[in-house]
Amino acid sequence: MLGRTCLAGLALTACSSGHGPARPQHLPPLDKVPALRGGGAARSPRIANYKLDAKLDPSSHMITATETLTWTNTGASQVDMLPFHLYMNAFKNEDSLFMRTTHGEMRGAHATDSGWGWIQIDSIQIGGVERATAISYPDDRDRTVANLPLQQPVQPGQTIEINFKFTEQLPEVFARSGYKGEFNLVGQWFPKIGVRVGTPGAEHWECQPHSANTEFFADFGVYDVTLTVPNTQVVAATGVLVAASDVPGGLRTLTYHAEDVHDFVWMADPYMVTKSGKATLEDGSTVIVRVVYRPEQESFAARHLQAAIGAIEKFSADFVPYPWSIMTVVDPPPDAASGAGGMEYPTLVTTAGDSVLARPGVRVPEFVTVHEVGHNWFQGMLASNEPVEAWMDEGVNEWADSHVMAELYGARSSVIDWEGFTAEYGALSETATEDPANIPSPIATAAFQFVDNAAYGEQSYPGTNRALTTLERTVGTSKFMAAMKAYAKQWAFKHPTGRDLFAALEKELGENLDWYFSPVFEQVGGMRLRVRSAECRPTHPPRGVFGDGTQKKIVTDTDAPTSGAWNCDVFVQNTGVIHVPVDIELDFADGSTQREQWDDHGERAWHELTALHSSRLVGVRLDPDNKISLDVPIEHQYRLEGDGAASLRAGARIASWAQTLMQLVGP
């Protein structure tokens, strides 16, 4: 996700609203579509089901709410304690784990000294018995996780109902949830139960405290949510609007219903308007697509709408069809975008990128929308454990984004097509990221265990994209895309792990890929691929002394002149931990080429090529078709000087950078 500021939206007047006093809004029409597209049976086991009733005071940005959670023990062992996320306490003070690990800054946005947020549990009842005083905190300093001991264990197959009352103060937004001026984005706002994972009979709770890089992991369920807001507010929310009415005091109640989702988010703002369209899936069915935005963002809203429609159509075709009836894209005001923009939730995402610099053809706004909509697959349906395996959502989604952007806007111009310049997402990403071999944390590191935020960002996003792209190019794009589609179909709504992804790919590709998955995802060191030496010698018959006694004969260069052919030796090395098949291409002075593949899966760290050719070797190219994204390509070009000496000169490096630049922005 990109860091953004209001200054980047220089041309937009929304940096200071000037919208005048808020006026009552028309009562919104009901959606009159099912929560699941086409209705039908449940897609998920619906383990955690919520009924929420919340009232927002937009002047104080406070929420009072009740919650009824119905949770089913689908494991094979009893449960005597329930853990809950209290995410809003991440913004309570500088002692929280989130504030300590972010230092009050995320993606260019900063916490303020006055905009603290918190959640207070006023009541917890089970079977009419008050249990609020029984809750405890694994980390009393942090308090983003609360444990509730049970008086009676929940046996396998049993269901328990827990009733909450809580009060919440939204923070001034700098990280995903909160307010900015009169804009309110309410995310991760209610007590949310953890997820039981592990071998049947030996399950354990997964309920990580909220830190800088830990996003969210929750079970699927059905949500019925009633929101009470002033009638001046435009509201957008997860799911479909099933009831709306005005009540005394200038208030309005709106009821939303969502099925087979693992979260619920909503937005309230008095100045938003809506632009709508429809995505058409391969079976001819449609999805309602909405962009909610301030009027001064009209031109960007049109771009976000088209990007969202295209993304839903392409992701549905490439993986599994979008299962819900509606997709809502919220385009926050520019002064809130750096904190609230660029975040994914089921059926509702926030976007960003509106800027005077983002001229038509500079597709940063479109990319943000495609990325966040894409998370409805690689997070919304394939809901992996993001705190533990962030790459399963962020990185796999980024790999899929590159395909969707290319399908929508062209392979060479997926990110930029402006004033004769074009740029493709993959090449742009590669040049903007750190050398993978220099990152001391492997891709498959828990989000809270990376050496720093930079390593988390590199490995969870572009690092994973590079890893999947390299495998895709190695086995073939059509074959790999078919394998990923099969994985998505098999694991939708089932919380897949990295091991599940690897197993699905091995099955579909028909080969054991341990040689690839282990070093690429679980080890550090990356690839260190380069030409160690290359030299050529003119060939001639053997010279020297031959025979013995009277048969002894001296063969000189006159007797054995050069034949005009050249004998060339090339040594290639890879001193990294990752070894993938490498194409090696030899360029000869007569314009001909010779290609060979080094494919020993790391049995040796070096490889020798020999070539007998009628003209001199002038260059060596590693990975000439750019299949490998796991190494720094600057080392893949090798030119021999005129005297045949094996030397890699600065000129070759400059030529390599020039070639990369041409790939990025060449007309």
Say how far apart CA 412 and CA 426 lie, in whole Å.
10
Task: Classify 572 as helix, strand or coil.
Answer: strand
DSSP-assigned beta bridge partners for residue 164: 67, 124
203 is written with which tokens? 């399950």
DSSP label at residue 297: G
How do residues 93-130 score in pLDDT, each as one tens digit?
999 999 999 998 988 888 998 899 999 999 999 999 99
Q: What is the dihedral of CA 321, 399, 217, 228, to 10 degrees?
A: -60
Q: Which residue has the tokens 């939206």?
A: 9
Question: Strand 286-293 vs strand 326-330: parallel, antiparallel, or unpaired?
Answer: parallel
Q: Which residue has the tokens 């490498």?
A: 582
Say how far apart CA 500 and CA 494 lie, in whole Å.
10
Over 90: is that where the pLDDT of 423 sits?
Answer: no
Say how far apart CA 538 and CA 141 lie, in whole Å.
75
Asked whether 667 and 416 are in contact (CB, 8 A), the reply is no
Determine the pLDDT at residue 634. Answer: 66
Determine the pLDDT at residue 563. Answer: 83
Give exposure, 117-133, as e/b (b: 16+ Cβ within 10 Å). Answer: bbbebeebebeeeebee
Q: Which residue has the tokens 């600065």?
A: 650
Helices (H), 510-561: 514-522
Determine the pLDDT at residue 215. Answer: 92
Say how far apart CA 255 and CA 242 lie, in whole Å.
6
Residue 656: alpha-carbon gap to chain centroid: 29
* pLDDT band of 647, cuts 50, 70, 90: very low
Say how far apart CA 253 and CA 265 lie, in whole Å.
16
Over 60: is that where the pLDDT of 5 sits?
Answer: no
Q: Which residue has the tokens 């008086």?
A: 151
Determine the pLDDT at residue 211. Answer: 94
Three-state SS sequence of 15-31 = HCCCCCCCCCCCCCCCC
Q: What is the overall mean pLDDT for the chain?
A: 91
Amino acid identity of residue 66, one-letter, is T
Least confident of 3-7, 205-209, 265-269, 388-392: 3-7
Q: For residue 327, how many other CB atoms are within 10 A of its CB? A: 22
How many alpha carbons fall within 13 Å on the CB side of residue 317? 15
Q: Which helix (H) or strand (E) holds 488?
A: helix 477-491
What angle, 0 to 180 degrees and rounded to 10, lies between the N-to-C axes of helices 298-318 and 364-374?
A: 40
Determine the pLDDT at residue 631. Answer: 83
Determine the pLDDT at residue 641. Answer: 67
Determine the pLDDT at residue 203. Answer: 95
Q: What is the dihedral of CA 390, 392, 398, 402, to 10 degrees?
A: 170
Over 50: is that where the pLDDT of 662 sits?
Answer: no
Least Cα distance to 42 among 462, 376, 493, 434 occurs for 493
Say how far apart CA 101 and CA 226 lie, in whole Å.
34
Residue 102: alpha-carbon gap to chain centroid: 19
Instruction: Give the predicted TM-score (pTM) of the model.
Output: 0.90
Q: For residue 644, how many other CB atoms are within 10 A of its CB? A: 17
Report the share of the chain in percent with pLDDT over 90.
Answer: 78
Amino acid identity of residue 579, one-letter, is H
48 is written with which tokens? 């955690």
Angle, CA 458 vertex, CA 455 and CA 460 arms, to 5°:
95
How do residues 550-574 score in pLDDT, each as one tens digit?
888 988 888 878 888 999 999 999 9
Over 50: is that where the pLDDT of 145 sits?
Answer: yes
Comparison of pLDDT for 436 and 510, the residue scoring more? 510
Q: Residue 192: CB partners within 8 Å, gap ≥ 6?
A: 48, 84, 85, 87, 218, 263
How do residues 509-526 score in pLDDT, each as one tens digit?
999 999 999 999 999 988
Q: For residue 559, how many other CB atoms are within 10 A of its CB? A: 11
Over 80: is that where the pLDDT of 599 sits?
Answer: yes
Over 90: is that where the pLDDT of 624 sits?
Answer: yes
Say how far apart CA 485 and CA 315 lie, in whole Å.
10
DSSP string, 608-635: EEEEEESS-EEEEEESTT----SS-GGG
Q: Which residue has the tokens 């354990």?
A: 204
**Residue ranges per domain, the chain?**
1-19+271-524, 28-268, 529-665
Asked whether 13 and 296 are in contact (CB, 8 A), the reply is yes
633 is written with which tokens? 């390509």
How many alpha carbons fall within 13 Å on the CB side of residue 414? 23
Determine the pLDDT at residue 422. Answer: 85
Angle, CA 251 vertex, CA 270 and CA 339 arms, to 5°:
35
Q: For residue 200, how many other CB atoms are within 10 A of its CB? A: 10
* pLDDT band of 665, cuts 50, 70, 90: very low
Q: Which residue has the tokens 């599940």?
A: 500
Determine the pLDDT at residue 571. Answer: 95
Total number of residues shown for the chain: 667
Over 60: is that where the pLDDT of 17 sits?
Answer: no
Asked whether 620 and 602 are in contact (CB, 8 A), the reply is no
Q: Which helix (H) or strand (E) holds 498?
A: helix 498-509
Query: Domain 1-19+271-524 has what CATH class?
Result: mainly alpha
Could you say which architecture CATH assigns to the domain 28-268? Answer: Sandwich (2.60)
Least Cα distance to 194 among 133, 129, 262 occurs for 262
187 is written with which tokens? 């995310």
Over 60: is that where the pLDDT of 1 sits?
Answer: no
DSSP-assigned beta bridge partners for residue 196: 205
* pLDDT band of 666, cuts 50, 70, 90: very low
Q: Residue 103: CB partners within 8 Å, gap ≥ 6?
A: none
Instruction: Work out the burial of residue 135: count CB atoms within 10 Å of its CB; fewer than 13 is exposed, 13-18 middle, 19 or more buried.
Output: middle
Determine the pLDDT at residue 419. Answer: 84
Task: Classify 131 as helix, strand or coil.
Answer: coil
Average pLDDT of the residues in 196-218 = 95
Q: For residue 154, how many other CB atoms are within 10 A of its CB? A: 18
Average pLDDT of the residues in 15-32 = 85
Over 70: is that where the pLDDT of 648 sits?
Answer: no
Determine the pLDDT at residue 391. Answer: 97
How do residues 311-365 score in pLDDT, each as one tens digit?
999 999 999 999 999 999 999 999 998 899 999 999 999 999 999 999 999 999 9
221 is written with which tokens? 């369920």
* pLDDT band of 61, cuts 50, 70, 90: very high
Main-chain dihedrals φ then ψ at residue 182, nearest 5 degrees: -100, 5
How do residues 522-551 score in pLDDT, each as one tens digit?
999 888 999 999 999 999 888 888 888 888
Amino acid identity of residue 622, one-letter, is L
Comparison of pLDDT for 137 and 551, the residue scoring more? 137
Q: Which residue has the tokens 């089901």?
A: 49
* pLDDT band of 6, cuts 50, 70, 90: very low
